[in-house]
Chain A
Amino acid sequence: MGQGTGRGPRDDVAGVPPAPERPGVPRWVKVFLAVAAVVALVLIALMLLSGGTHGPGRHLSGQGSSHASISIGASVLVAP
C-alpha cells in the first residue's frame, strides 16, 4: 500500500505515477485475482472438510487441552 523502494527518483513519495495507460484491467491483475480465488476456495474447502470450526474464540469454550489440539489444527486452515 505504501510506496516501498521505488525504481528511481520519480517513484518516491513525491514522484509522479506513470502516464495513463490503456483502459481495462491489466493482465497481471486478472492472473493475481484468479490465483487468489483458487487459494481462497482451497482454504474454504479445507475449513469445511475439517468441520468448519475455524473462527475467533473457538478456543475459548472451555474444552480440555486434547480438544484444543484439534481446534488449533483446524485453525490453521484459514489464514494468514
Chain B
Amino acid sequence: MNSGRGARKALLTIHLISSLGWIGAALAYLALAVTAGSSGDPGSVRAAWSAMELTGWAVIVPLALGSLATGLAVSLLSPWGLLRHYWVLISLVLTALSAAITTLHMPDVSSMAEMARTADDDELLRLGGDAFHPAVGLVVLVVIAVLNVYKPRGRTRFTW
C-alpha cells in the first residue's frame, strides 16, 4: 500500500467515524428533544435542555464539521472527485447545508437551555422541545448515507 492510498484510507476512516457518529449523536439529541417537549417532570425538562446544549456543542457540531471537512478531502483525493458525479455533488450540498444549519441552530439551543435553567416549573413545562430539527436532520443524513453506499450512476459536466 503506497503512502497516498494509505492517507486516503485513513481519511476515509475518519470520515466514516465522523459521519456515523453524527447520526448517532443526532439520534441521542432527538431522544432528549422528545423528552424536553413531552415530559411532565420539570427536572427532566431542565436536564434534557442542558444535555441537548452539551451534546450539540461538544459532539454534534464537531462531528458535523469533521464529516464535511473529511468528506471534502476524501472526494478531492479520490478518482470520484468533488463535482464529477451527481451522488457526490448532492451529498456535498446536503452535508454542507446540514452542518451549517446545525451550527447556526445551536445558539438558539443554548438560549433555550439558559431559559430552562432559570424558568420556574410552570414555565418549564410550556417551553416545548426541539424534535423537528434532529428528526429532519436524521432523514437528510440517512439520504446521504444511502447515496454514499449505492453510488448511483451519473456524471455531471464538471471535471473537478
Residues of chain A at the chain B interface (Cβ within 8 Å): 1-7, 11-18, 20-21, 25-26, 28-29, 32, 56-60, 64-66, 68-69, 72-73, 75-77, 79-80
In the complex, the chain B residue whose C-beta lies closest to that of A35 is B143
Given contacts A72-B108, A72-B129, A80-B133, 11 further A-B contacts (CB under 8 A): A13-B8, A13-B74, A14-B8, A14-B79, A17-B85, A18-B153, A32-B90, A69-B126, A75-B132, A76-B133, A77-B132
Q: Select the residue from B15, B92, B153 with max chain A CB neighbours within 10 A.
A: B153
Q: A16-B79, A17-B84, A80-B133 are in contact. Are A58 and B140 (CB under 8 A)?
A: no
The interface size bin for chain B is 35 or more
- Tell me, rounded to whole Å, the shortest Cβ–Cβ distance linking A73 to chain B: 6
**Can you name 28 A-B residue pairings with CB atoms under 8 Å?**
A1-B88, A1-B92, A2-B15, A2-B19, A2-B75, A3-B78, A6-B149, A12-B9, A13-B9, A13-B74, A13-B78, A16-B79, A18-B153, A25-B154, A26-B153, A29-B90, A57-B107, A58-B108, A59-B112, A60-B107, A66-B123, A75-B108, A75-B132, A76-B132, A80-B97, A80-B98, A80-B101, A80-B139
Most buried by B among A11, A57, A65: A65
Contacts of A68 in B (CB 8 A): 111-112, 115, 127-128
Give the complex CA separation of A65 and B86 in angstroms.
Answer: 45
Smallest beta-carbon distance A45→chain B, Å: 15
Contacts A65-B127, A76-B130, A76-B131 given; does A4 touch B149 at CB 8 Å: yes
- How many A-B contacts are there with CB distance less than 8 Å? 147
Check: B56 CB closer than 8 A to any chain A CB.
no
Contact present for A80 and B136 (CB under 8 Å): yes
Q: Is the CB of A20 within 8 A of B108?
A: no
B residues near A75, Cβ cutoff 8 Å? 105, 108, 130, 132-133
Establish whether residues A56 and B105, one from each chain, have CB atoms under 8 Å apart when the complex forms.
Answer: yes
Minimum CB–CB distance for B84 against chain A, Å: 7
User: Bound complex: CA of A29 vs CA of B63, how far in Å?
Assistant: 27
| Chain B nearest CB, measured from A4 CB (Å) | 3
Q: Which residues of A contact B91 (CB under 8 A)?
A: 1-2
